[in-house]
Structure 1
Amino acid sequence: MPVKSTNRPAARRTAGASKPAAKPASKASKPAAKNGASQPASRQPKSDAKKLPSLALRHVWQGENQIAANPLVWVNGQLLPKNEAKVSVYDHGLLYGDGVFEGIRVYQGKIFKCRSHMDRLYRCAAKLHLHIPVSPDDMVQIQRDCIAANGIKEGYIRLVITRGHGTLGLDPRKCPVPGVICIADQISLYPPEFYETGMRVIVAKRPKTPVACLDPRIKSLNYLNNILAKVEAIEAGCHEAIMLSQEGWVTECTGDNIFVIKDGKLFTPPPVSGENDRFAGGLLEGVTRRFVIDELAPMCDIQVEERMMKLDFLMSADEIFLTGTAAEIIAVPQVDETRISDGEGELTNKLRMKFREIVTSDAIPED
């Protein structure tokens, strides 16, 4: 059914670059209630969507983006103004962090590595036994509708799948209809200058949640472990923190993956380090991380090796950089009080420039 329109020592960063654009929205199908269950009363009544046509036309210009003055958000089958986009207080995504999400970039109006993000979203949901009531193809169309409705050429998409409206208590069976939300907006993690100078990070004192307790490859709505490490970074005057496993292995940062350059070769912790996936390496398998390993590094004639590493290996690096959907590629010239490089290193710059060349071209990879 169609959507109802209606450093070194000092911290330095860059907000990467803003992104994606949008083309006239096509209609996305409305999620069907699972097992014929009716939509919770807390969801927006259909009549609200009738107000949207006039609201969708109110835009302001910001750089190359035509930004909606009152952004529209896709919530359970309807595009609604931001201030009307609501979920039930009984939604288990809110009550218990029961759900999954994806952060996705839009460049030149195209969804970067869209299929890779969709694969991860549905894979993570399956690990939680969470049925997404929208097909992957329809989910892609929902995103396109959102970026078009909000006039976004360069930006960020946040997909959220919640367990849905239920009762008090953990039982997921009490949530018959999962919630589906799509936000298309802007994001800027770090000051723009950091992308040339790099930014200082710390090593968090708080270790990663043990893999035996929670698979870090699930991008769930519960980020408390990462948030507490982020608080450590903020209190230290930094934007990011490196997180170690309980055994002292380098895993990732609070929101980014980490790479080390030594003697012209690229190293990064593996997502899995054990037989039959029993022992995960303690990190989320980032889409940008995989793009660097499989595509960007080969383009730049740089060898890559996934390997377990302790802090001494990291601290003796020639260069360090982080990757992430929102962060893109950003250098780390200092960890705690140890200087790694004088600003952004040569190979980090080479990779970052190649990345920017790709995402500002007419051939944005959407696979």
Structure 2
Amino acid sequence: MSRTVYVNGEYLPEEDATISVFDRGFLFADGVYEVTSVLEGKLIDFDGHAVRLERSLGELEMPMPMSRDELLEIHRRLVAENGIEDGMVYLQVTRGAADRDFAYPPEGTRQTVVLFTQSKPGLADSPVAKAGIKVVTLPDLRWDRRDIKTVQLLYPSMGKMAAKAQGADDAWMVEEGVVTEGTSNNAYIVKGGVIVTRNLGPEILHGITRAAVLRFAREAQMKVEERAFTVEEAKAADEAFVTSATTFVTPVVEIDGVPVGQGAPGPVAQRLREIYLEESRKAAV
């Protein structure tokens, strides 16, 4: 059965959904996006994603295309009409369609707003999270404003494929000897009971799941250090894990072929995943 998608104010069957070939998201990657997970038919961390969307748009000198309440209504309607129990809602906003020119189009050009759903049954019970993932390290060759959640995802996609070519699940990107983040997630290590993750700045995406997990960790009296860490530190860590909106908290069991800790998911990552899912379900909308 065809999905219902949202395009510029209309709810349409996916096969009828189109945007202009002149759209700047298509021509220049001039747009931003958010992905909100759905568990048991409810949205996880919606407010955090809405706040970050507004920030990303502001950094690109674009306005919010609608109010937060209107965005929430669209998300909820798509979840309901597509019967999503577990899955995600993808949202993309671009600067709109105009003749191809590196200069921004005239003020008042209509933005393009697209939303669609993906069903992912058993999202919270992923076997990958139980087994852990293997990562390799790659040079971070992205632009310097990774805090803006733009649709410029070619290098992360290349990194993911490079990891798979080496028999791994994902890549951690490295700049000046320290880990920035994964291709689509924030990166962490655990050493001596201390959780270490890269401090916020333009070098990494300000993850919504990251913020929630660190808050829950501190509430559980876990020690957290927000600082850069090296690849060598990561390989010598007791545990490692990643966080993202669709993978929640997922253990990392191997880095560049070197087992992390015991080479199996560790207790800190497993406990944080439990806490995150429990608390997020309570607050879901």
Instruction: State the TM-score, normalizing by the size of structure 2.
Output: 0.93
**How far apart are residue 190 of structure 1 and its match?**
11
Contact 1:101–1:221, Cα closer than 8 Å, also in 2: yes
Contact 1:164–1:179, Cα closer than 8 Å, also in 2: yes
**How far apart are residue 348 of structure 1 and its match?**
1.2
When residues 208 and 365 of structure 1 are mapped into structure 2, their CA distance, relative to the original with a 3 A threshold, is farther
| 1:186-234 deviations in Å (ceiling 9; x for gaps) | 2489993221111111001x324252xxx11000011122122222112
Instruction: Using the aligned pairs only, state the percent identity.
Output: 29
- Provide the residue aligned with 1:202 in structure 2: 136
Structure 1 position 155 matched with structure 2 position 87: yes
1:100-119 to 2 correspondence within 5 Å? Answer: 100-119=32-51
1:307-346 to 2 correspondence within 5 Å? Answer: 307-341=227-261, 342-346=263-267
Give ranges in structure 1 of 5+ residues lacking alignment. Answer: 1-68, 273-279
Q: Secondary structure at the match of 1:332?
A: strand
When residues 353 and 133 of structure 1 are mapped into structure 2, their CA distance, relative to the original with a 3 A threshold, is closer
Match of 1:254 among 183, 198, 205: 183
Q: Secondary structure at the match of 1:115?
A: helix
Give ranges in structure 2 of 5+ residues lacking alignment. Answer: none
Q: Which amino acid aligns with 1:285?
A: H
Contact 1:99–1:160, Cα closer than 8 Å, also in 2: yes
- Provide the residue aligned with 1:128 in structure 2: 60
Match of 2:101 among 150, 163, 169: 169
- Provide the residue aligned with 1:364 in structure 2: 283
Q: Secondary structure at the match of 1:173?
A: coil
When residues 191 and 225 of structure 1 are mapped into structure 2, their CA distance, relative to the original with a 3 A threshold, is farther
Return the alpha-carbon distance in structure 1 between the equivalents of residues 65 and 129 of structure 2. 39
Higher strand share: 2
Contact 1:187–1:326, Cα closer than 8 Å, also in 2: no
**How far apart are residue 315 of structure 1 and its match?**
1.5
Contact 2:85–2:119, Cα closer than 8 Å, also in 1: no
1:1-367 to 2 correspondence within 5 Å? Answer: 69-174=1-106, 176-187=109-120, 192-204=126-138, 206-211=139-144, 215-245=145-175, 247-272=176-201, 280=202, 282-294=203-215, 296-341=216-261, 342-359=263-280, 361=281, 363-365=282-284
Return the alpha-carbon distance in structure 2 between the equivalents of residues 146 and 85 of structure 1. 14
Return the alpha-carbon distance in structure 2 between the equivalents of residues 297 and 99 of structure 1. 33
Contact 1:300–1:351, Cα closer than 8 Å, also in 2: no
Contact 1:72–1:80, Cα closer than 8 Å, also in 2: yes
**How far apart are residue 335 of structure 1 and its match?**
0.3
**How far apart are residue 354 of structure 1 and its match?**
2.0
Q: Tell which deviates more after alignment, 302-311 or 316-325.
A: 302-311
Return the alpha-carbon distance in structure 1 between the equivalents of residues 65 and 284 of structure 2. 26
Contact 1:196–1:343, Cα closer than 8 Å, also in 2: no
Between Structure 1 and Structure 2, how many residues are aligned? 282
**How far apart are residue 244 of structure 1 and its match?**
1.0
Q: Secondary structure at the match of 1:176?
A: coil
| 1:167-199 deviations in Å (ceiling 9; x for gaps) | 122222258110011112224899932211111
Contact 2:25–2:151, Cα closer than 8 Å, also in 1: yes
Q: Tell which deviates more after alignment, 283-292 or 101-110.
A: 101-110
Question: Relative CO higher for 1 or 2, CA cutoff 8 Å, sep ≥ 6?
Answer: 1
Return the alpha-carbon distance in structure 1 between the equivalents of residues 54 and 266 of structure 2. 37
Q: Secondary structure at the match of 1:177?
A: coil
Q: Which amino acid aligns with 1:183?
A: F
**How far apart are residue 111 of structure 1 and its match?**
1.4
| 1:218-276 deviations in Å (ceiling 9; x for gaps) | 0001112212222211211222100012x12211000010111111111100122xxxx
Q: Which amino acid aligns with 1:265?
A: V
Computing the radius of gyration from Cα coordinates, the structure with the larger value is 1
Contact 1:100–1:219, Cα closer than 8 Å, also in 2: yes
**How far apart are residue 87 of structure 1 and its match?**
0.8
Q: CA RMSD in A?
A: 1.9
Return the alpha-carbon distance in structure 2 between the equivalents of residues 86 and 173 of structure 1. 20
Q: Secondary structure at the match of 2:38?
A: strand
